[in-house]
Structure 1
């Protein structure tokens, strides 16, 4: 996704209420992501939005900032924009300012968008606010469980990854740069990211939600490898 011009310009003196800002933000994001086939589409954003609001209510987060950040968290994913980790935050900030939001609000959302992504096993979360924590937890929850498995293979197909290469060991990337340069199979991605997410939840609610989804992907990887090695077949 390349840089896009923000399309909403408010007439002088016109102030949108929060509901209108949410609606226009959602419309903007949906227009950008509606044709995605990598698992980072509008419906991923909608699921993250719902999860983030649920987690946020349990954790006492500001609902407005949480919803805006969840809507915008993948507006320009670094995995598709050439590796620019800052572009999404710039687009988010400019959009919200053009919609008439305060600088403080726009900066709060942009900070979450900048730091939401997983960038390697050796990279630590930099979320400073509870809003950032619940959005990041929601995004990670959607990378787990049955939907997470489906999304992993959709992403691998778009990126031209092999489903599995038994000669290629998983690699726990030590830095953002190393993770950005990763070259591996989809099954390796489970070891390099998805199976690590349970222990990287920020909130108690996120950790609770992650338990079942982690077990789903654990069982899937176990069964996949067993079938690959023909270990699941009955003795003749």
Structure 2
């Protein structure tokens, strides 16, 4: 298979795997991240194949997925190899998806992601803010039974504790440029919830 055929195989596999995912890590999220990643890869001069493939598979190992949907890094590696993707490319992709999580951000200071990894991480963070990110936050809360506000597990707490930090964590010029408008929308939304809930009187 050539790279176009390999990408199509990966795309179909991931779509089938995550089409019914309920926490906001579903196929629609993956599709948006892949589209953003390709756009930014072109802007930043990153390898398009590595970037798009990593974007497509980045959530398959996420602990937030149900066990029936979640794979190990080794299982992802095996499947990519079955699509005849080169071993060195698979290594690059695996290195990205196993280290790009928000919880790994301090470890990345010592060993930063590749340019392709930085692009995918930015795209993933971009999809966590703005309108899409707010929608995903509510999807996750609904799936887990978390409230809109009033608890540490609430949507509002998630916005305040994590999502508003993401604009400042962008790796690339392209990512930073796209983050500003989404960040402002996120702040406006959080302020509106606080006002309507009577948390903030102004």
User: What TM-score results when the alignment is normalised by the length of structure 1?
Assistant: 0.78
The reply on whether 1:156 has 2:141 as its aligned counterpart is yes
How many Å separate the matches in 2 of 1:56 and 1:231? 41
1:227 to 172, 196, 202: 196
Is the CA contact (8 Å cut-off) linking 1:37 and 1:158 kept in structure 2? Answer: yes
Gaps of 5+ in 1: 1-15, 171-183
The reply on whether 1:204 has 2:170 as its aligned counterpart is no
User: What's the Cα RMSD here?
Assistant: 2.0
4+ residue stretches of structure 1 with deviation over 3 A?
Answer: 122-127, 230-233
1:192 to 151, 161, 166: 161
SS in 2 for 1:39: coil
Deviations 1:182-227 (A, max 9, x none): xx21110001211000000010110111000000000100111011
The reply on whether 1:90 has 2:74 as its aligned counterpart is yes
Question: Bigger radius of gyration, 1 or 2?
Answer: 1
The reply on whether 1:70 has 2:39 as its aligned counterpart is no
Q: Structure 1 pair 65/229, CA: closer, same or farther in 2 (3 Å)?
A: same
Deviations 1:105-160 (A, max 9, x none): 1110011111222227x745454200000000001101110111111011111011
How many Å separate the matches in 2 of 1:59 and 1:124? 23
Give the structure 2 partner of residue 108 of structure 1.
Answer: 92
Q: CA deviation at 1:231?
A: 5.7
Is the CA contact (8 Å cut-off) linking 1:115 and 1:127 kept in structure 2? Answer: no
The reply on whether 1:53 has 2:22 as its aligned counterpart is no
